[in-house]
Amino acid sequence: MIIIIYTRPTVNDKIRMYEKWKIKMYKFVHKFGIPPTKRRIPKMKNLLGQISIFKAMEIKPNFSELARQYGIDRRTVKKYYEGYEGKPKTRNKQSKLDKYYDEIKAKLE
């Protein structure tokens, strides 16, 4: 009679398996085999759309739950709910040559 005893793989066995098959091991979700970024809903547009729906229905959302879904901080969700539109796409920064504009123009004439 043959008795087969199954033992659960240890952490070292899992690491060897990952190395053997050249699988990237992610620190927090290596048990699931998917990177943490793949589990999240990546688009900020989706969050903004969902927030606009909450505003139209006059419902205060659960910021913590939305933060978990989108993988961002709850304070960020609240900030967008309160009307933050993001950083401006263009900067109002002056050129370093602006203070020499008159001199350059005079030399070109």
Mean pLDDT of 78-88: 87
Q: Return the closest-CA partner of residue 72 out of 81, 82, 83, 63.
A: 63
| pLDDT number for residue 43 | 72
Asked if residue 75 has pLDDT above 50, the reply is: yes
| pLDDT number for residue 69 | 86
Burial 48-80 (b: 16+ CB within 10 A, else e): eebbeeeeeeeeebebeebbeebeeeeebbbeb
| pLDDT number for residue 87 | 79
Asked if residue 63 has pLDDT above 90, the reply is: yes
pTM above 0.85, yes or no: no
Q: Are 74 and 64 in contact (CB under 8 A)?
A: yes
Mean pLDDT of 57-84: 90
Mean pLDDT of 42-63: 86
Mean pLDDT of the residues in the chain: 76
Q: Return the closest-CA partner of residue 41 out of 30, 33, 54, 50.
A: 50
For 14-18, 57-61, 85-89, 92-96, which range has the lowest pLDDT when averaged over its residues? 14-18
% of the chain at pLDDT higher than 90? 18
Q: Are 23 and 33 in contact (CB under 8 A)?
A: yes
